[in-house]
Structure 1
């Protein structure tokens, strides 16, 4: 560097930047972090209401988005066209902030337990399985059209999750959790999600030092980034 140019640059720096050294002090690298932004009972309307505070304010470079279980299963049911519209808006806001998105399908549920929460008529006219397939097909279509990272968690749990009433089910039941739940993962289920997400993050070679997991109770998993939630297990795998 030309001496005059160097002196001009140096004089332009604040005194604190020198800190008594011969050269300016480089700012410390930002510590990586992972945020568990899952809230139980949320549907896409709820995520839109809190997206600024719970997601965008953290300035993520990567956001893991899993939503749709309450849109299709709960009393906060959202018809499929509105669900897709809300999902696209959520994604548009996240990507517009500069974050990449990993979009995940929702998990299979165990129908006999679900029907203790809602009568079969709640799922009419298509029925539970058909509604679930349509929601996940919509999620996959949106991911492909918008060229997002995509992870088919439903396929993983459907094939190896042993979803049912056996103790080895990755979805909570009476045998493994003393609950006729049928929708939320067991600790092993959360670890399964975390491993699948971790492998996806590594494979896409995307930046994920500022990572937000955005979703409902399946993301929350008990809250925070400690314990059994998939964000907590993912934190361990990433070494954050």
Structure 2
């Protein structure tokens, strides 16, 4: 009996680790589900055509309506003020939140950016919508999102796409300029989001 438990312990440990690493789950998307892509120029699709933006590509990949609610140049405080009206108009089942990049470019207070993102998540949840959070890299030699994105995802139990945008913006072949993807970059972002959504709605 003792030998059995000694043999089982590593397996149980692996199962516990796998459970901890599993992304939080979303509700299965209804056939008529609306997905809201909310953010700034990264969502709007600067650097590509409208049909090449990530929301347009994601719509084709998922077979669900994806509304592009990206406003170029918007900071998180402005996004927070805009969000209630957009939620009321679109009534989405799922929201993809990509915001904060313009706060970093303008060197705004990081804690205020985190608070604004948390308030956006709260509004989405109050509206009955699920949320997928995407990490936005801060400018610098090594592109990576600030730690508060991961903290927000963990605290709110959100599926989180952490490094995809950083990887895209670190590859000159996937960029239209220093801060925006090109059509190929948006395709990669859409594909990663489609995979995450499918994995978390099984």
TM-score tier by shorter-chain length is 0.5 to 0.7
Q: Summarize deviations over 1:66-125 as a string: whole Å, max 9, x none.
A: 001101013xx420111111111111001111100000011476xxxxxxxxxxxxxxxx
Q: Distance in 1 between matches of 2:168 and 2:65?
A: 30
Q: 1:185 to 1:199 in 2, by over 3 A?
A: same
Cα distance in 2 for partners of 1:54, 1:69 equals: 20
Which residue of the other structure, out of 29, 34, 50, is the alignment partner of 2:66?
34
In structure 1, what is the equivalent of residue 179 of structure 2? Answer: 183
Distance in 2 (CA, whole Å) between partners of 1:30 and 1:162 is: 36
Whether 1:192 aligns to 2:188 is yes
Corresponding position: 1:78 with 2:82:
no
Per the normalisation by structure 2, the TM-score is 0.63
Aligned Cα RMSD in Å? 2.4
Distance 1:102 1:56, change over 3 A: farther
Give unmatched runs, 5+ long, in structure 1: 1-28, 110-127, 173-180, 207-240
| Aligned partners of 2:137 and 2:146 also within 8 Å | no
Q: Which runs of 5+ in 2 are unaligned?
A: 1-30, 34-63
Going from structure 1 to structure 2, the CA distance change for 1:158 and 1:106 (only over 3 Å counts) comes to: closer
Max Rg structure: 1
Q: Report the TM-score when normalising by structure 1.
A: 0.53
C-alpha separation in 2, matches of 1:103 and 1:157: 12
| Larger RCO (CA under 8 A, 6+ residues apart) | 1
1:143 equivalenced with 2:153 (yes/no): yes
- Aligned ranges 1:58-97 → 2 under 5 Å: 58-74=90-106, 77-97=107-127
